[in-house]
Amino acid sequence: MNTEDKQPPMNIMVIGANGGIGRQTVEYALASGHKVTALLRTPAKLHLVHPNLEIVKGDVRLPGTFEQYLENNDAVISALGDGMNKPTTLYSEGNASLLKSMKKMGARRAFFISASAIEVSPLQPFFIRLATKYIVQKLFRHGYADQRIMEKIIKESGINWTIVRPPRLTDKPATGHYRVAVNRFLKNCLRISRADTAHFMIDNINTVEMYQSTVEIGY
């Protein structure tokens, strides 16, 4: 999918701005003319300078450190990341805290990063389904368990959420050309770059069809 319509300038907050997808999201949003507030626990790790970029110190699990930045905000991109092969509550607790703060401050639009392998897609080839169930899901069982809790919390939030489920992520540059499936599985959803995942989110902030939807994305 390639969204060519020019987005009006917006105020966008990126959570986890120094992660793979987070960093790409900040860069693409700035290149597209938006103002970005990048939230990091360690701001010095984000080596970017731009007149439309504000880098702030905060922890998504501590509302007092970031709530003020949600005021007059057009969209939030939650690109939280943690070790998927170890026990974690970052996805569920972090995004629950974020959603509570969004409601308090009147922010309504947000994207959340999950993973395509959280479910075994019936549209994948047989060997891919086997590998997903018996290798990938077992290897990353801790991360997926917390992301399942996260998705449930998001779906009950009432805001205009979009859950993005990318497959295997690469560090290749953005192409702007990819396929998406809204509220269904994407056939042969095998890989996508972090840059194109960022491209999809920024270019679809105002796409009403994406509201309260789970989206798979891939080449």
Dump pLDDT digits (tens) for 112-140: 999 999 999 999 999 999 999 999 999 99
Q: Within a domain: residue 107? A: yes
The tokens describing 159, both together, are 């805001």
Q: Within a domain: residue 118? A: yes
Q: Within a domain: residue 153? A: yes
The pLDDT, as a whole number, for residue 1 is: 47
Question: Is the overall model pTM greater than 0.75, yes or no?
Answer: yes
Q: Within a domain: residue 94? A: yes
- In sequence order, the 6+-apart residues with CB closer than 8 A to the CB of 71 are 105, 106
The tokens describing 95, both together, are 């995004």
Domain total of the chain: 1
Q: Within a domain: residue 210? A: yes
The pLDDT, as a whole number, for residue 5 is: 59
List beta partners, residue 163.
Answer: 112, 214
The pLDDT, as a whole number, for residue 86 is: 87
Q: Within a domain: residue 3? A: no
CB 38 within 8 A of CB 61: no
Q: Which residues of the chain have pLDDT under 70?
A: 1-6
CA distance 172 to 213: 26
The pLDDT, as a whole number, for residue 82 is: 81
Q: Within a domain: residue 2? A: no
Query: N- to C-terminal Cα distance for the chain?
Result: 9
132: containing domain: 11-218
What would the DSSP string read from start to end of 169-208?
EE-PPP-S--EEEESSPPTT--EEEHHHHHHHHHHTTT-G
Q: Tokens 């308090």 correspond to what residue?
A: 104
The pLDDT, as a whole number, for residue 6 is: 67
CA distance 191 to 182: 17
Q: What are the distances in angstroms from CA 102 to CA 96, 108, 169?
A: 10, 7, 28
Q: Within a domain: residue 6? A: no
CATH number at residue 110: 3.40.50.720
> Residue 148: CA atoms inside 13 Å, Cβ hemisphere, count?
10
Question: Where is 114: in which H helix or E strand?
Answer: none
The pLDDT, as a whole number, for residue 3 is: 45
Backbone angle region of 183, left / alpha / beta, with phi > 0 → left and psi within -120 to 50 → alpha: left
CB 84 within 8 A of CB 28: no
The tokens describing 123, both together, are 């549209």
